[in-house]
Amino acid sequence: MVLKPSLTALQVMHDAPVIPVIVLSDVAHAVPMARALLAGGIRMLEVTLRTPQALECMAAITREVPQAVVGAGTVRTAADAKAAMAAGARFAVSPGYTPMLGQACRELGLPLLPGVATGSEIMQCLEDGFTELKFFPAMQAGGVAMLKAWSGPFADVRFCPTGGVTPNNSAELLALPNVVCVGGSWLVPTDAVSQGDWARVTQLALAARALG
């Protein structure tokens, strides 16, 4: 059975110029971090499945910060997608793509932003019906020049470049017609999280919001 998602990948991408890529290793940080981003106008939050606490962090944000829309990052398998959805994730972002992952997300009704870095990977995603893609790792794999090159043969694809994106290079990326938003970890710096410097996270979110 295929469930209809309440949200589309394009809606996730259009919400703000930047999707924060978040790594949390302490559940106590999840809710204040989410509130800090929300205060800066960022509500699509990609919490990566890179720590043992990630699922619990997603559940805490979902429960206590209902205005935020929690997504799961680093989703690599169907099991990851299922666990993330059970924890409250409403979208998924993956660093690569497999047809098995695509099918699992579709069956779950979980919007997926699949990761691509080559033309063949884009073609596989298109074959499976995915037209909104994460370009990862964007700056390492060709950045602006690569996105310009793809705009010819893949004019129907919209990208969220992630990986090596910073406040300095995001304006150039966001100006490209095939880029809807960018992803980056700079909005939630590790030291700000460990020091509980939520005002800094809000400032970074406000600055990111202003990029759009």
Burial class (CB in 10 A: 0-12, 13-18, 19+), 81: buried
SS3 166: coil
| Active-site residue, 46 included | yes
- Give whichever of 77 and 107 is closer to ligand 3PG, judged by the CB atom: 77
Least distance to ligand 3PG from the beta carbon of 171, Å?
A: 16
- Angle of helix 99-108 versus helix 78-86 axis, rounded to 10: 30
- Which DSSP category does 176 fall into? S
Token pair recorded at residue 166:
């910073």
Least distance to ligand 3PG from the beta carbon of 195, Å?
A: 19
- Give whichever of 107 and 186 is closer to ligand 3PG, judged by the CB atom: 186
Residues that bind ligand 3PG (CB under 6 A): 21, 48, 136, 162-165, 183-185
- Of 36, 13, 33, 37, the closest CA to residue 23 belongs to 33
Say which of 4, 82, 121, 134 is annotated catalytic. 134
Q: Which residue is nearest to ligand 3PG (CB)?
A: 185
Identify the H or E element spanning 190: helix 190-195
Least distance to ligand 3PG from the beta carbon of 33, Å?
A: 16
- Give whichever of 25 and 109 is closer to ligand 3PG, judged by the CB atom: 25
Please name the residues in contact with 132: beta carbons below 8 A apart, sequence gap of 6 or more. 8, 9, 10, 13, 113, 157, 158, 159, 160, 180
Say which of 4, 46, 127, 172 is annotated catalytic. 46
Least distance to ligand 3PG from the beta carbon of 95, Å?
A: 6
Sheet hosting strand 91-93, strand order edge to edge: 112-113, 91-93, 69-73, 44-48, 18-22, 182-184
| Active-site residue, 82 included | no
| Residues labelled catalytic | 46, 134
